[in-house]
Amino acid sequence: MRQTSSYRTVRNYQKQPGSCYGNYSAENLQKALEDVKAKRLTVSAASRTYNVPRTTLQDKMQRIHSKSSGGKTIFSALEEESFKQHFLTLASYGFPLTTFDLRLITKSYLDTLGKKVDKFSNDTPGKDWAYSFLKRHRDLTQRFSANIKRSRAEKSPEEIKKYVDNLKDTIPLDTPPENIYNYDETNLTDDPLNKRVVIKRGTKYPERVMNSSKSSTSVMFCGTAAGELLAPYVVYKSEHLWTSWIEGGLKDARYNRTKSGWFDAACFEDWFVKIALPDMKKKKGGNT
């Protein structure tokens, strides 16, 4: 039996003619208020001149409804600023996120706090919320990124030396090799096409670092400085994960699937919690 799924686009709210909200620009409202305060125009005359409702001008003059219209946001301004900076930092490293990643990150944040949001289905923000988030933060925008090979994103010997020198300052010298982990995602080819990613407004050529310009199945490999290898984590390009795809695999290997075949925030969190973290807890100091 064929499985089907529904797809809903983000709603684009249109202001209706005669609506009490936003049928005038903020600039016209400000000019009308200035003329009324300076007694150059009466409230009625300013309303006709700048096409601002007379009741709105009266309310503004009396400081009624001085706050912006609209419902209260789910997250505080500080929390949303933290989400935004997270996006900008990853984009600057060549790994921009999508609005779907934003929704998963906020869900993970809510789960960590143990907070329930009735407006979100299963405590997961919807597409409308992500769209509104971008509207509130005008220095973010969506554009299609160019996938570049990792060889193009390689660092110079000087940058690598600087990285190693920084490790000396951040990792204690007595850290045992088995407590130092290195992981990387490797991709087996197919065509992922370009994706719309969230970046800083004004960026001319958004690029996303990928092992190749193709994608299909991804595998996360992780090992320690002592030469120990963790079980691999495989991500298929599919809507569903079939049992036949995990038969005969390596011991303790874990499997998942995404629409693109690439790791997303949910897959990475699952890999860390189910494979990396249990191994780390076995090591000396792992429970501290």
- Maximum C-alpha span of the chain: 84
Taking a C-beta distance cutoff of 8 angstroms, is the pair 143, 196 a contact? yes
SS3 69: coil
**pLDDT range class, residue 98, cuts 50, 70, 90:** confident
* 262-271: pLDDT as tens digits: 788 888 999 9
Exposure of 38 in the CB half-sphere (CA atoms within 13 A): 8
**pLDDT range class, residue 12, cuts 50, 70, 90:** low
Alpha-carbon gap, residue 266 to 84, rounded angstroms: 18
- How far is CA 169 from each of CA 9, 138, 161, 176, rounded to the nearest angstrom? 48, 37, 13, 16
Nearest to 34 by CA among 8, 19, 52, 12: 52
Pairing status of strand 196-200 against strand 140-144: antiparallel
* 31-76: pLDDT as tens digits: 888 999 988 999 899 889 988 888 888 888 887 655 555 556 788 8
Which pTM was predicted? 0.45
46's CB contacts (< 8 A; 6+ apart) are 32, 33, 35, 36, 52, 57
| Lookup: tokens for 197 | 């990613």
Per domain, the residue ranges of the chain are 26-61, 77-144
The topology (CATH level 3) of 26-61 is Arc Repressor Mutant, subunit A (1.10.10)
**pLDDT range class, residue 122, cuts 50, 70, 90:** confident
| Lookup: tokens for 95 | 């790994």
256: phi > 0 → left, psi -120 to 50 → alpha, else beta; which?
Answer: beta
* 179-224: pLDDT as tens digits: 999 998 887 765 555 667 777 787 766 666 665 544 468 899 999 9
pLDDT at 154 over 70: no
Taking a C-beta distance cutoff of 8 angstroms, is the pair 149, 197 a contact? no
Alpha-carbon gap, residue 262 to 265, rounded angstroms: 10
The predicted pLDDT at position 277 comes to 93
Which whole number is the average pLDDT over 247-259? Answer: 89
Supply the DSSP symbol for 150. Answer: G
